[in-house]
Amino acid sequence: MAVVAEPSKKLVCWSCGSENDADAQFCASCGKLQPYTPTDYFAFFGLPRRFQLDTASLERQFYRLSRKFHPDLYARASSEEQRWSLEKSSVLNDAWRTLRDPLARTEYALGLAGIRLEEQSRDASDRAAENGTAKQQVVPPDLLEEVFELNMQLEEMRMAKASGADDPETRGSLEAAKQNFDSQMKTSEQDLQRLWSEWDAAAETDDGETQQAAQQKMVDLLNRRSYIRNLLRDVEEALKN
């Protein structure tokens, strides 16, 4: 997925002609805002492309840039500068929202590596659920038995509810299932962080093979998470009175 053209090495300031880094937002010599050029969110923040990120420093950078790009500051500037400040403000907000969130960041970085994860996107799955068009997901093999049991319990719970009675035993089983899935979600977060470190370390040494392997494991993990999240939603729904 080539969303981004390879940036040129240097950026020549439109105002004073000085050379700047390709991803400079402002000229280092005269301080003028530089044109907006499409780039990925990491480069926009001047960051290397990594899964692990210091979100506290990212947040400081976000607020600093928000102030410096603010369109009010360019009310008397040229129309180009006004346009760049608007474009950069908008990209800044998108970049911040994406990179601050661990899962959104993971999906985004995988996307930059050419991996599309539309099925895993929380927005997409919520939309699909709302429209009643949720796609049939493949059951992770190690969950087959659990899911089979669970579906029977869910059905029993529905029948009990339909007849106006409660079924304490099934309720107990569903509550246990919910706890189990909650803890699997937590474990998957730790696993994901471990994969981030593997990938990031491999990026430092240009070890493409390890990066590819870690990416694939992230995809599997996100698939599994998405599946468990849907199960949790079903269980929580069934446990409601």
Contacting residues toward Zn ion, per CB under 5 A: 13, 15-16, 18, 27, 29-30
Whole-angstrom distance, CA of residue 86 vs CA of residue 66: 11
Q: Which amino acid is at 94?
A: D
Nearer to Zn ion among residue 13 and residue 110 (C-beta): 13
Taking a C-beta distance cutoff of 8 angstroms, is the pair 117, 222 a contact?
yes
Whole-angstrom distance, CA of residue 139 vs CA of residue 146: 10
Q: How far is the CB of 84 from Zn ion (least distance, A)?
A: 14
How many CA atoms lie less than 13 Å away from 78 in the CB half-sphere? Answer: 9
Whole-angstrom distance, CA of residue 119 vs CA of residue 132: 15
Q: How far is the CB of 185 from Zn ion (least distance, A)?
A: 49
Q: Which helix (H) or strand (E) holds 225?
A: helix 208-239
Task: Quickly count helices (H) and strands (E) in the chain.
Answer: 8, 2
